[in-house]
Structure 1
Amino acid sequence: MDKLGIHSFVWTGGTTQQDLEGAMEKSHDLGYKLIEFPRLDPRKFDVSWLARRLKDYDLAVTVTMGLPLEGDISSEDAAVVRRGEEILSDAVAITRDLGGHKLGGIIFSAHTKYRSLPTRKGWDNSVATLSRLADTAKQAGVSLNLEIVNRFETNLLNTTAQGLAFIKETGSDNIFLHLDTFHMNIEEADPVQAIRLAGDKLGYFHIGESNRGYLGSGVINFPAIFDALVASGYEDWITFESFSSEVVDEDLSIICAIWRNTWTDNVDLARRAKAFIDDRYAEARRKADTARTP
């Protein structure tokens, strides 16, 4: 498929210039067309350099992130919300400067296991913040994409239905859903119905196995997932995401509970993932075409 990406954490847990160069080179060599980077610290690399190298490798880019507790825009503390808005504004600017058009991830709350229920005031603070940010991001050519994740990584948005309600309250046409098969497998009653429900609000899609490892080694019904994507008319980026303690940095390993090596050979993992996705997507397209043939 033409719009297939890979998360840089398949290649490296670091963000130094050397780390980023290696991730881009391997992604390009295996035929991926986009690389997803986590929120980048511009103190560790040259933004203009990275933008140039992305063009050299003919790679599109998406930036994703999770807010820290001290920048949780779903907090009831006004100072914490302001800090979160500053962090998000910086992320929009970096996405723009890299030539990217999507900022995704857990951008509506902190990326953590909460110790309390969400509050109405916290929800309203998050809605208001992203409503403002969406206008700024639109001027920069960047859309905001809310990653709907499992209950252990946020307390605010765990299902597609919640995400759609949130978007509706913002009143913005520049906020979309970022769905992920790993999280959908935990939280949705039916991932296929969730994809259909998302409709034209689906802005970005992650493919990941139920055990975070090799595609096809878990319990996710990928043929049904790809059938639903094709049936819904989704033709935007699909990005492969996989974590192993072999690569992922310590902080993310703790947050995402990556306690074991789901793989050790990332080149083999990425090569097989591309073939798996290409085959399943092509199969879904053939079935859809056959069904429409009189």
Structure 2
Amino acid sequence: MIMNKLGVHAGVFVGGWSPADCDTAVAKASACGFDVIEIPVFEPETLSSTATLQALRRHGMEATCSLGLPFEADLAAEDAAVSAAGEEYLTTALDFAAAIGSSYLGGVIYGAFGKHAEPVSPAGRRNAVAAIRRVAARAAGHGVTLGLETVNRYESNLLNTAEQTRAFIDEVDAANVRLHLDTYHMNIEEHDVTDAILRSRRYLGYVHIGESHRGPLGTGTVDFPSIFEALHAIHYEQIVTFESFSSQVVSPGLSSTLAIWRDTWDDPDKTATAARDFITQALNG
């Protein structure tokens, strides 16, 4: 039997996080058979921790949190003021995560989320490492793990492969900073997805399961049998979260950044339930 808790990204069900959106998404995630809902914490100061916590308790769900930093709050900027704005933004998101009882805050939390015109500079990278180290110390006090999501070159100019992220984590040198792998991004950037997972045994703390076109699992080009075989081989027992996006559910900021221009599915509940079954079968295989 599977040991992993199963999660689903809230973007499968809703485009925002108003109290009404919150209750809808948590209720649907629960009804579809998931244990955890991943909450996108964009503009964290606008979110209601009270409404979120009430919804989680009402439906018996756990939560994780994720975000991508905006360019005006780029932790990996050379400009110290911009990097400091990123640290403040991330700290606000951390406080929200702690307030709702989440033990995980991940995503593109180490730099600006989006397409960059040039590689990160050495000074910018040093700023990001130092800031993550400071935020990790604060997170440890809340019992929160920080996850650095390795994403494709169009969404970050800093961490695009598992190898790069492992090296970054080694520099930060904090026990509560972990590697967050996403099969959608790995399918684009990794030379060998299986090898990337196997080499990440000591680092891996969170996994996104997403298809190559962001749609229903098993309908694209991601080699899921090899991925789940590798997860079994390293005895990965943390959360496994389904992430998918369609223009049927529009998040004004996230949809444009992720370039969600078409319907990859038209029934979120059906898609989520099918994904839960797909992942459960793969984990038990």
Question: Considering the TM-score relative to the shorter chain, is it more than 0.5?
Answer: yes
Moved more, 245-254 or 150-159: 245-254
| CA–CA distance in structure 2, aligned partners of residues 37 and 259 of structure 1 | 22
- The equivalent of 1:163 in structure 2 is 165
Answer yes or no: is the 8 Å Cα contact 1:15–1:40 preserved in 2: no
Which consecutive residues of structure 1, in runs of 5 or more, have no partner in the other structure?
284-294
Q: Deviations over 1:119-145 (max 9, x none)?
A: 100100000000111111001110110
Shift of 1:55: 2.0
Q: Is the 8 A contact 2:22 2:55 kept in 1?
A: no
Sort the Cα spacing of 1:139 and 1:21 in 2 relative to 1 into closer, same or farther, 3 A: same
Return 243-252 or 124-133, whichever deviates more: 243-252
DSSP 3-state at the match of 1:199: coil
Residue of structure 2 aligned with 1:61, choices 33, 56, 63: 63
Partner SS state of residue 242, structure 1: coil
AA aligned to 1:13 is G
Partners of 1:150 and 1:183 within 8 A in 2: yes
The answer on 1:281 being equivalent to 2:265 is: no
Change (3 A) 1:158 1:45: closer
Deviations 1:216-260 (A, max 9, x none): 000111111111111101100000000001103232222111111
After superposition, residues 174-193 of structure 1 pair within 5 angstroms as: 174-193=176-195
Larger Rg: 1
The normalised TM-score by structure 1 is 0.94
Alpha-carbon distance, 1:56 to partner: 2.3
Report the TM-score when normalising by structure 2.
0.97
Q: How does 1:85-124 map onto structure 2 within 5 Å?
A: 85-124=87-126
Matches of residues 144-163 of structure 1 in structure 2 within 5 Å?
144-163=146-165
In structure 2, the partner of 1:28 is 30
SS across alignment from 1:261:
coil
1:288 equivalent in structure 2: none
Which sections of structure 2, spanning at least 5 residues, go unmatched?
none
Q: 1:131, 1:171 within 8 Å by CA — same for their partners in 2? A: yes
- Conserved in 2, the CA contact under 8 Å of 1:15 and 1:44? no
1:79 matches 2:89: no
Match of 2:140 in 1: 138
Cα-to-partner distance string for 1:18-69 (whole Å, 9 max, x where unaligned): 1110001111111100000001546655312321321221211110000000
In structure 2, the residue matched to 1:225 is 227
Determine the structure 1 residue equivalent to 2:256: 254
1:92 is paired with a residue of what secondary structure? Answer: helix
Distance 2:227 2:201 in 1: 14
Contact 1:150 1:186 in 2 (8 A): yes
Q: Give the C-alpha shift of residue 188 in structure 1.
A: 0.5
Determine the structure 2 residue equivalent to 1:289: none
CA distance in 2, matches of 1:110, 1:44: 20
Could you tell me how far 1:118 is from its partner in structure 2?
Answer: 1.2
Q: How far does the alpha carbon of each residue in 1:160-215 deviate from its partner, in whole angstroms, 9 at most, with x for none?
A: 00001101111211111110000000000111111111112101100000010010
Root-mean-square deviation over aligned CA pairs? 1.2
Aligned partner letter, 1:53 = A
Give the 3 Å change call, closer, same or farther, for CA 131–43 of structure 1 in structure 2: closer
Counterparts in 2 of 1:53 and 1:45: CA distance versus 1, 3 Å: same
Provide the residue aligned with 1:38 in structure 2.
40
Q: Indicate the SS of the match to 1:152.
A: coil
Greater Cα offset, 52-61 or 227-236 = 52-61
Q: Which amino acid aligns with 1:153?
A: E
Is this contact kept in 1: 2:9–2:38, CA < 8 A?
yes
Determine the C-alpha separation between the residues in 2 that align with 1:83 and 1:271.
39
Pick closer, same or farther for the CA change 1:43–1:114 going to 2, 3 Å: closer
Structure 1 residue 117, shift from structure 2 partner: 1.6
- Confirm or deny that 1:215 pairs with 2:217: yes
